[in-house]
Amino acid sequence: MSKSPQSAVDFAIHTRALNLWYGSFQALFDVNLDIKQGMITSLIGPSGCGKSTFLRSVNRINERLGYARIEGAIEVMKRNVYDPEVELIQVRKQVGMVFQRPNPLPISIRDNILFGHRLHSKSKGDEDDIVEEALRKVLLWDKVKDRLKDKATGLSLEEQQKLCIARLLPVKPSVLLMDEPCSALDPKGTEAVEELIWELRGEYTILIVTHNMAQARRASEECIFMLMGKVIEHSATEEMFVTPAQAETADYIEGRYG
C-alpha cells in the first residue's frame, strides 16, 4: 500500500479483495478499503447494499451464521482478523460494536460498564474509576452518577445508546463499529449521540453506518458510498458531497435512490 499518496497515514482497517456470500447470494464484491486510524468514516448507500454486512465482517460476527462464507482479508491494526491463529475474543476486544437498537443488558448501569472489563481482566482493579471514566467520556456521568445501581434498561433510549458506547471503552478497543446508532432515537437524542461520536474522534477509529445523508455530512470526515455490495466511492466527506466523482454517488446523494 506504499504506492498511494496516503502512505504516511496509518490505516486501522484495511481490506483486500473481500468477498462475502450468504449461501449462494453474494453480498460483498471485491471490497478494497483503507480506513484511516483515528478518523470517523461514514458508510452510506441504499438499504440492502451491504453496509451492515461489511461492518459485521470486521468483527467476525457474520461467521455465527453457518452459511456465511468469506474470501479475502480484513486487517485490523495491521493484522488479518481471518488469520487462523487469531483469537476471536481478542478481535472482539479490539473492535467494539454499537447496534441500531440500544441493547444494554438487563443489569445495573454499573455492571453494564464493567461487563466487558470483567470478562477480560481477572483483577478487580479500580472498578469505580473505570465506571466513572467511561461514563464521563460519553457525557453521561453527571446524569447517572447517583443511580449506578439502577437497571440500565430503565434509561431513556439516548442514554441507553450512550451507555452501550461507554461499556465498550474499558476494554480499550481501537475500532468502534456503529450500525445506524441513531436511527432509534429522536432528533434531540440523535444530536446528542452524534456530538458524542464527534468527541471520540482521534482516540478511536469509528466506522459508522447511516442512511441519513445530513448525518454523514455533519458527523464524518471520510465517506464511503456502497451500492449492491460494491464500493463505488471513498473520499473525504466534503468532497463527496460537493463534487462526487461517480454518477451513482451523485444520484444517491441527491436522493434519486430509496
Ligand X SMILES: Nc1ncnc2c1ncn2[C@@H]1O[C@H](COP(=O)(O)OP(=O)(O)O)[C@@H](O)[C@H]1O
The contact set with other proteins (CB under 8 A) reads 59, 61, 64, 66, 89-90, 92-93, 96-97, 99, 101, 103-107, 115-116, 119-120, 151, 153-154, 164, 167-168, 171
Q: Which of 110, 35, 114 is nearest to 75 (CA)?
A: 35
Q: How far is the CB of 116 from ligand X (least distance, A)?
A: 25
Judged by CB under 5 A, does residue 52 bind Mg ion?
yes
Strands (DSSP E) along 82-204, which ranges? Answer: 95-98, 175-179
Nearer to other proteins, 59 or 190 (CB): 59
Residue 127 exposed, middle or buried by CB count within 10 Å (0-12, 13-18, 19+): middle
Backbone φ and ψ for 234, nearest 5 degrees, come out as: -140, 115
Contact partner, 14, from ligand X, other proteins, Mg ion, none, Cβ < 5-8 Å per class: none
CB of 197 to Mg ion, least distance (A): 17
Amino acid at 10: D
The nearer residue to Mg ion, 52 or 57, going by C-beta atoms, is 52
106 binds, among other proteins, ligand X, Mg ion, none (CB under 5 to 8 A by kind): other proteins
Instruction: Report the alpha-carbon distance of residue 18 to residue 105 in Å, rounded.
Output: 33
Report the 10 Å Cβ neighbour count for 257.
Answer: 13
Which amino acid would we find at residue 254? E
Residue 53 site contact among Mg ion, ligand X, other proteins, none (CB < 5 to 8 Å, cut-off depends on kind): ligand X
Instruction: Report whether 45 contacts 202 (CB < 8 A).
Output: no
Q: Scanning residues 16 to 55, which ones bind ligand X (CB under 6 A)?
A: 22, 25, 27, 45, 47-53
Q: How far is the CB of 53 from Mg ion (least distance, A)?
A: 8
Buried residues in 203-215 as b, exposed as e (16+ CB within 10 A): ebbbbbbbebbeb
Return residues touching ligand X (CB under 6 A): 22, 25, 27, 45, 47-53, 65
Interface residue list for Mg ion (CB under 5 A): 52
